[in-house]
Structures are given as structure tokens and as C-alpha cells.
Amino acid sequence: MSNTQDLRRLSERLGVDIDPETLRLALTHRSYAFEHGGIPTNERLEFLGDAVLQLVTTESLYFDNPQLPEGRLAKMRAAVVNTRALASVARGLGIGEFVLLGKGEELTGGRDKDSILADTVESLIGACFVDRGREDAFALVHRLVDTMLADAVELGAGVDFKTTLQEAAADLALGTVSYEVAGSGPDHARVFTATVRLGDVAWKAGTGTSKKAAEAAAAEATVRALRAAHPDLGR
């Protein structure tokens, strides 16, 4: 179980001091709870955190983009409030090392599963709301997702990177977009690496626990490279 020192380190990474017991609950995956006599899980906090996350992202997009219609706002929110995006946030903070998992999940790579990481981010937001209140919880959400919100606004209509890459490649006449994907590791902890090809030219690579996630990561890296080279792209 995460000890007091671990919990303190996690609080520091989150930038907010959350009660240790509430924080430990937010890290308790159902597989761990089942193996320890059916203790409470983080699922109620996850439920609450999801609602807080939805509200903060919706509020930010609504008030910061008064010119955009509902459909565009919904797509932008979906680009931020999804499993892959939240798992990326979790990996950036190293949250996986703190999650309390059962032996089965531990052996099958649960610490790096997108679904577990994303759910834990939501439960941590819920824990912050319960322990510190609305203001601190909203501030935490902004720290976690504001960069992604800015990206969603910048990407415009093509809010997912694979779609945006298709549009960018067409605008710049770079050829057909394709992906070369290779897997490595044992079946229970498979990692995939995808490389973007634009025409005959290899561009950026990305990794993930599924082919789809690896392709999305590679597309994101390539879009960022193209935007760095062509600042007016898509504007």
C-alpha cells in the first residue's frame, strides 16, 4: 500500500495537499480492493471527478470561445476528456507508480493501462473536490488539462490528431498518410510503436499499449512538427 511518503510525493506532483486517507482511497483500484477483503474502491471518487472534469472543461471552452458553435465545442471537449488524453496526463505525472493494484492487474501491466490511468486521474480530481472543495479541485483540473484545451482550440475542426494530420498532409501536398506499426514485449504487456509516413518519407513515431494509441501518438508528434515548420498551417 502507498505509504505516507509516497502520498506526500504524489500530492506535490498534483500541486495540492490532499488528506492522505482520501488520497489513498483515490488510488485503490477494484482489483486491490477485492484482494483485500472488499475494502472501498476509488470508483465513487472517479464518478465525482469525471463530473468535475466535464464541468471545468465545458466552462472553459464555452467562455473562452464565444464564436464557436456547440458541435465544435463538443468535439474539442471530447479531445480532452477521453481515456487516451487522461492516460497521457497520468503518465506525465508518474501516477501509475502510486496506484494500488491486485496481483493480476500488476502482472498484466496494469500500471500502464490507459483505462486504469485515466480512471485514476478522475478519482484524484474527485478526491481533491471532497477534501479541498470546489476552488482547489477546479484549479487542479486546469493544471492537468489546460495545455490540452489549448491544443484542442488550436486544432480547430480536426480535434483528433489523425484527422488533423490528414488535413495537414493534403494542405502541404506531402502525400498519402500511412502508419508502420510494430509490437514488442509479452502478450500481457504488449507495447506498440507506430511511425508516420507521409508519402515515402518517415516522420515521427509514437508508442502505446494498442495500435490505435500508438498511431494517435505518432500523429500528434507529426502534427506538432509540421506546425513548428509551418506556423500558419490550418489557420
Which residues are catalytic, by number?
Answer: 50, 122
- Chain-centre distance for alpha carbon 143: 13
119 is in an annotated binding site: yes
What whole-number distance in Å separates Cα of residue 101 and Cα of residue 194? Answer: 29
122 is in an annotated binding site: yes
> 114-128: string of b/e by CB count within 10 Å (b at 16+)?
bebbbbbbbbbbbbb
Phi, psi of 28 (to 5 degrees): -90, 100
97 is in an annotated binding site: no
Q: What is the distance in angstroms between the CA of the first residue and the CA of the last residue of the chain?
A: 49
**Residues in the annotated binding site for Mg(2+):** 46, 119, 122
- Binding residues, as ranges, are 46, 119, 122
